[in-house]
Amino acid sequence: MHQSPRYAMIMAGGSGQRLWPLSRKAHPKQLLPILGGQSLLAMAWDRLEGLIPASHRLVCSAEGFRQPIADALRGLCNDNYLGEPMGRDTLNAVALTAAVLAKRDPNAIFAVLTSDHIIEPSEAFRKRLEEGFKVVEADPTRFVTFAITPTYAATAYGYVERGDAIVGFDAAFQATRFVEKPDKARAEQYLASGAFGWNSGMFVFSARAFLRAVEQFRPENHAGISALAKDWDTPAQHESLERVYPTLPKISIDYAVMEPASKRDGTHSFSVCVLPMSLQWLDIGSYPSYAQVLEADAEGNRSNAHWTNVASKNCLVLSDDPTHVIATVGCEDLVIVHTKDATLVCPAAMSERVKEAAERAPLSVR
């Protein structure tokens, strides 16, 4: 194993409202036993085996999830759990991580990873992550982002365009631009060009260089993060976090740092590099994507439930109670989800609106 100061932070915030009622604020999607009884977060943690030791792995999530996440991840040190008093989007989660690591280890280089994806094979993922570390170790002013090689013209993902190759590295390129979720026509153009990949939301940074970028591009966020860093690992840490963190301007890392850093306009010293990842990548963000982890029957139905079916087609039927029977007759293209205190029924084509149902549900079942 490489002995340089390599770290990884897994972002595990959010309540997964598009997977309500399985996912709740008190038991979010990253802790659900999605595949073979294993949670997405546990899979993300285990993918780092052999590359990043457990003592160098951090998790950033809600403070309220500290105990269930600690119970779910073997080897997670309490000091490596960055508990947010409230979500302030991805820039602040990554900046806080950078500040904590830079204080503990000024030469720290860290990966930012997601907790809501299925990524296979793990060995291919680790190989690309290893390459990302090497790119940054060679030049700490480089910010690495990973782009998933697209398999279709997706409109639900952002895209990254790659430019010139970086000398000395296999399949590492300059990133020329970030594009938000495109319409169908543009997505088809991106797919045909071969120069675009899906924005994975995974990165590698030098902690100190990232903080310098935040200082340049988002000085208000940097001021608050610097105040937190001063108190971190001291008796004032908790009070400072509760007081300062909710005041940080809410913004994503892509808008705040990656997009301005990718513009080679002479106003900064940073460069954004993109490493394509050609592997199986599934974002478990909605019921249609959840369905893909379950085997379909001859009629296109997928289920993990005790289900009695008569002439139903293309249905997704889920339950967290193996003793509860769900019966359908002549149903088509439905999502049906049963839990002990809430049941969801919706057309599969409208599953993106499940979030609205979650927001309207009584507080007791959110």
249 with 296, same domain: the answer is no
Same domain, yes or no: 269 and 291: no
Q: Does 1 reside within a domain?
A: no
> 223, 255, 283 — which closes off a domain?
283
Low pLDDT (below 50) residues in the chain: 1-3
Q: Are residues 170 and 306 in the same domain?
A: no
pLDDT score at 36? 78
Neighbouring CB atoms inside 10 A of 124's CB total 14
Residue 233: what pLDDT? 95
- Is the domain of 58 the same as that of 43? yes
Same domain, 100 and 233: yes
What pLDDT shows up at residue 174?
A: 96
- Count how many domains the chain has: 2
For residue 143, what are the domain limits? 6-283
Which residue, 259, 283, 307, sits at the end of a domain?
A: 283
3-class secondary structure, 220: helix
**236 and 258 part of one domain:** yes
User: Which of 238, 262, 283 is the C-terminal boundary of a domain?
Assistant: 283
How confident is the model at residue 4, as a pLDDT?
Answer: 60
> Which residue, 229, 286, 215, is CA-closest to 102?
229
> Is the CA virtual torsion 318, 320, 322, 324 positive or negative?
negative
Rounded to the nearest 5°, which phi and psi values hold at 337? -130, 125
109 contacts 51 by C-beta, under 8 angstroms:
no
Task: Give me the pLDDT at residue 170, please.
Answer: 81
**338 lies in the same domain as 308:** yes
* 289 token code pair: 């994507």
CA-CA distance, 281 to 118, in Å (whole number)?
Answer: 6
Q: Are residues 211 and 135 in the same domain?
A: yes
246-301 tens-digit pLDDT: 999 999 999 999 999 999 888 999 999 999 999 999 988 899 999 999 999 999 99
Looking up residue 142, the CATH number of its domain turns out to be 3.90.550.10
Domain shared by 213 and 292, yes or no: no
Q: What's the rounded Cα separation, in Å, for the pair 222 and 152?
A: 38
Strand partners, 310: 329
